[in-house]
């Protein structure tokens, strides 16, 4: 009883009230009324397009739909669902984009108004079945399903026994699922006192050995960028490591350090048909400061490693300059193909014919891309699939640029990260299908020069995992997207 009085705000009244019992009773009834007053607290989403379901969140709405009216920009709507804390309506059709007022009335009494940003209908592919908004706030095709129980955001790899293996960002543990990602069991990999696995990537050797490559956040020594000399502190460090397990992840060997220099990010590790393992990583060089890409190759299931030549972009200067965040795939002719993030408005490519020991000079591809890394995978069908941030949002031909001062990067560069596109190749990357938008930001405000560094808005750093032939997971390091789709829906 005492806790109920406190919640209603009545205990205080009871202690200070020196009025007659009748007066106190009136005061208590007033507080009860104020606490039970209907109120709108938010709209979910608060920006959108016609045909979407919008949930009006609040308190004390009751459950009688006949008493509820919703005025949406001058159009009175009949709710599709009413509970005490939520009213659902379908967003009506308007012409043009504008800010509208949403006003709820309960039994004829208007509540507080809320603002809604009305947008004309957006599209993603495939669009025949309509679109919907994910739990992460992204617009996707209605055919997609969310995989919210999946541990972390990838990368994921299939084990020899059919399990799914992953190492979440910043963890010292790995996780294994035996039921297609519904439940996960943690297994310790490293000591939390000495390690934190940043940007982990994982592969399974031909003999079943699990190999994880990562940079060690526990050994981080900051860049301390100097804007005058366009260089960084020579003591800066973020080492690259590998660690392996030969018993399905139950126990792990001592990790192997590949280099001590600053590792911007590790994006890929692959097992080749001949058994070699190749990891793509980065190494910061100085004076001026810039990123470079290189690989390490192991011919003994991850016990020992040999470094490749360093791919160093001429003229690069800046803490996000140079060749960065490369991904790898083995072609059917045995060559390794590397796609590289650049600041040149295109992905660049290089090839190796000796299992990653040496690489050709990087050249521009025909794939326009913002300064953001792609996800690149061979599917069970034999096709190659690419998911990436295109140079411009679909339908646009311009976008703001960052840098040009040799501190971020030596040239003005596009960092479009508002939507992800997908395309396929049936001929080893010689030609590609028409790009289709697979997911885009919806509940976040559009990117501008002013909010360009708000990484909570980004939809980028994708990972792809083929759960079974033709069924693909797409997850993102930025944006928190976790969806499953069918390959055939995008061909």
Specify the higher pLDDT residue, 2 or 444.
Answer: 444
Order across the sheet with 164-166: list the strands: 156-158, 164-166, 173-177, 185-188
* 30: Cα within 13 Å, side-chain hemisphere: 7
The pLDDT tens digits for 261-272 are: 999 999 999 999
Q: Is 15 a residue whose pLDDT tops 50?
A: no
The pLDDT tens digits for 123-147 are: 666 655 568 888 888 999 988 999 9
Average pLDDT over residues 311-337: 98
Q: Is 7 a residue whose pLDDT tops 70?
A: no
pLDDT of 172: 97
Q: Is 230 a residue whose pLDDT tops 80?
A: yes
Specify the higher pLDDT residue, 468 or 53.
Answer: 468
d(CA 278, CA 298) in angstroms, rounded, equals 7
User: Based on C-alpha coordinates, what's the Rg of the chain?
Assistant: 27
d(CA 235, CA 237) in angstroms, rounded, equals 6
Q: Fold for domain 39-120?
A: Immunoglobulin-like (2.60.40)
Q: Say if residues 22 and 28 touch (Cβ distance below 8 Å).
A: no
The pLDDT tens digits for 160-172 are: 999 999 999 999 9
pLDDT of 124: 66
pLDDT of 271: 98
Q: Is 446 a residue whose pLDDT tops 90?
A: no
Q: Report residue 248 as tokens.
A: 């399905």
Most confident of 12-26, 69-83, 134-148, 368-382: 368-382
* Region(s) of the chain under CATH 2.120.10.10: 138-490
Average pLDDT over residues 98-115: 90
* Region(s) of the chain under CATH 2.60.40.10: 39-120
pLDDT of 95: 67
Question: Distance of CA 164 to CAs 57, 167, 174, 244, 272, Å?
Answer: 38, 11, 11, 16, 20
Question: Distance of CA 352 to CAs 325, 348, 359, Å?
Answer: 17, 14, 5
pLDDT of 54: 82
pLDDT of 126: 65
The pLDDT tens digits for 248-292 are: 999 999 999 999 999 999 999 999 999 999 999 999 999 999 999
pLDDT of 228: 97
Check whether the bond before 415 is cis (ω within 30° of 0).
no
**Chain mean pLDDT for the chain:** 90
Average pLDDT over residues 396-412: 96
Q: Say if residues 155 and 145 touch (Cβ distance below 8 Å).
A: no
pLDDT of 10: 36
The pLDDT tens digits for 85-106 are: 999 898 887 766 678 899 999 9
Check whether the bond before 406 is cis (ω within 30° of 0).
no
Q: Fold for domain 138-490?
A: Neuraminidase (2.120.10)
Specify the higher pLDDT residue, 6 or 165.
Answer: 165
pLDDT of 338: 98
């Amino acid at each position: 009883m005492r806790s109920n009085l406190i919640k209603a705000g009545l205990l205080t009244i009871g202690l200070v009230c020196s009025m007659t019992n009748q007066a106190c009773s009136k005061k208590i009834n007033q507080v009860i009324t104020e606490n039970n007053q209907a109120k709108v607290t938010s709209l979910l989403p608060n920006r959108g397009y016609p045909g979407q379901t919008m949930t009006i969140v609040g308190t004390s709405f009751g459950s009688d739909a006949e008493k509820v009216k919703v005025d949406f920009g001058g159009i009175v709507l009949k709710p599709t669902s009413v509970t005490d804390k939520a009213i659902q309506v379908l967003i009506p059709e308007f012409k043009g984009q504008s800010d509208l007022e949403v006003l709820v009335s309960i039994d004829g009494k208007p509540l507080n108004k809320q603002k809604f940003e009305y947008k004309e209908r957006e599209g993603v592919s495939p669009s025949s079945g309509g679109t919907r908004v994910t739990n992460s706030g992204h617009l996707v095709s209605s055919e997609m399903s969310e995989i919210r129980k999946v541990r972390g955001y990838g990368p994921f790899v299939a084990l020899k026994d059919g399990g799914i293996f992953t190492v979440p960002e910043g963890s010292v543990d790995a996780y294994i699922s035996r039921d297609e990602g519904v439940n996960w069991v943690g297994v310790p990999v490293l000591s939390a006192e000495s390690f934190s696995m940043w940007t982990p990537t994982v592969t399974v050797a031909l003999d079943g050995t699990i190999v994880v490559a990562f940079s060690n956040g526990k050994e981080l020594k900051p860049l301390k960028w100097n804007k005058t000399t366009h260089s960084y502190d020579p003591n800066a460090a973020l080492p690259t490591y590998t660690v392996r397990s030969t018993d399905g992840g139950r126990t792990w060997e001592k990790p192997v350090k590949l280099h001590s220099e600053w590792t911007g990010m590790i994006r890929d590790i692959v097992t080749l048909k001949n058994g070699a393992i190749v990891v793509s990583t980065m190494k910061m060089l100085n004076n001026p400061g810039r990123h470079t890409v290189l690989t390490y190759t192991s011919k003994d299931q991850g016990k020992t490693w040999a470094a490749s030549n360093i791919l160093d972009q001429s003229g690069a200067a800046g803490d996000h300059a140079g060749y960065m965040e490369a991904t790898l795939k083995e072609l059917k002719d045995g060559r390794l193909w590397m796609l590289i993030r650049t600041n040149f408005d295109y992905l660049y490519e290089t090839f190796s014919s000796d299992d990653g020991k040496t690489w050709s000079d990087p050249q521009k591809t025909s794939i326009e891309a913002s300064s953001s890394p792609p996800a690149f995978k061979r599917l069970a069908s034999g096709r190659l699939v690419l998911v990436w941030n295109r140079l411009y949002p679909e339908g646009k031909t311009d976008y703001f640029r960052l840098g040009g001062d040799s501190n971020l990067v030596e040239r003005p560069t596009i960092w479009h990260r508002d939507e992800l596109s997908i395309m396929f190749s049936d001929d080893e990357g010689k030609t590609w299908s028409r790009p289709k938008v697979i997911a885009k930001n919806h509940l976040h405000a559009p990117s501008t020069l002013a909010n360009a560094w708000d990484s909570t808005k980004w939809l980028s750093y994708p990972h792809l995992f083929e759960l079974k032939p033709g069924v693909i997971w797409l997850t993102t390091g930025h944006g928190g997207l976790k969806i499953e789709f069918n390959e055939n829906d995008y061909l």
